[in-house]
Amino acid sequence: MFIDKKNYWELEEFKEFNLKAIYTTKTFGDVRNEEDRKNIISTLKIEDKKIYSGYQTHSDNIVVIEKGTPEYSEDTDGFLTDRDDVVIFTKYADCLPIYFYDKKTSAYGCVHSGWVGSYKKIGVKAVQILQERFKADLENIIVAFGIGISSENYEVSEEFYEKFKLQFSEKILENVFYKIDKRYFFDNQKFNYNLMIDYGIKRENIIENQLCTFEGDFHSHRREKELSGRNGAYIFVDISRK
C-alpha cells in the first residue's frame, strides 16, 4: 500500500526490506526538469548515490546494473540490481511502474510498463532475469504495482482488445477488459497481475493499489495530452533503515 508523503507516495511494504520505493506527484514538479530532479534528490537524501535512468521507448529492454554499467541507457524501460549504492529512476505519465524485490538475494528493480510493455510482458521478463542472473526463486520474489491509470479512465479501441485477444489466453484476459455499450476499457494492473500469477508468482507476494494518475495529483497524458509532465518512480536501498 502506498502512503501519502505530500510530495510523493511511498510503498509501505518495502520498508521491511530496507528499500525506499516512491512515486512523485505534480507538487514535486516534472522529473524531466533538472531543477525538479535536484529538489527530489535533496528531499530523498540520495546525493551520495549513483542514479540510473534511461531513454524509455516502451520496449521490453531491461538493464542489469553492475560495476561499470553506464548511468544512462538508451532504449531501456527497466533496471535490476543488487547494489546498495544506486538509485533506479524511471518516468511516467499514466503507464504502470512495477517494482520488484527478491527476499533471498536482495536484488530489486523497477520496469516501465505501458500497454506496449505489458503486451511484450516486460514484467515477466524482469522476473526471468531475477531467476537467471540473480538465481532468485519464484517463491521469494515480491512484485508491487505502482501508480498508473485506472481502467475506468483507460478507454481503448476494439482493435486494441482484439490485438490482446489474439495473443493471450482467456485465463490471462479474465477481468482485464470490460465493455460499456460499444466502448472498451483496459485494466493494465490487472493484466500484469494475471501474467504474474500465470508465471508462478505467489498471490500473497503481489502488492496492488487503487490509486489513479488520471484522478490524483499526478501528471497524466490522458488528461493533459502534450502538456503533461512526468512523474518519477524511484527505488533504492535505504541505508538508514539497516
Q: What is the mean pLDDT of each run of 10 residues along the chain (242 residues)?
A: 95 97 97 97 96 98 97 98 98 98 98 98 98 98 98 98 97 96 96 98 97 97 97 92 58
Element (DSSP H or E) covering residue 71: none
Separation between Cα atoms, residue 64 and residue 128, nearest integer Å = 12
Separation between Cα atoms, residue 23 and residue 208, nearest integer Å = 14
Separation between Cα atoms, residue 86 and residue 66, nearest integer Å = 10
The CA angle 160-211-27, to the nearest 5 degrees, is 110
| CATH placement of domain 2-149+202-241 | 3.60.140.10
Separation between Cα atoms, residue 126 and residue 145, nearest integer Å = 13
Locus of grid cell 537524501: 45
Compute the 3-state secondary structure of the chain and give helix, strand, coil in percent, each to the nearest 5. Answer: 35, 30, 35
In whole angstroms, how far apart are CA 156 and each of 17, 61, 92?
37, 25, 19
Element (DSSP H or E) covering residue 54: strand 50-54
Q: Which residues, 6 or more positions from 3, have their beta carbon under 8 angstroms from its beta carbon?
A: 9, 10, 11, 12
Region for residue 94 given its phi and psi (left: phi exceeds 0; alpha: psi -120 to 50; beta: otherwise): left
In the prediction, which pLDDT does 213 show?
98
In the prediction, which pLDDT does 174 show?
93
- Give the predicted TM-score (pTM) of the model: 0.97
Separation between Cα atoms, residue 128 and residue 124, nearest integer Å = 6
In the prediction, which pLDDT does 239 show?
76
β-strands 108-113, 206-207 pairing? unpaired
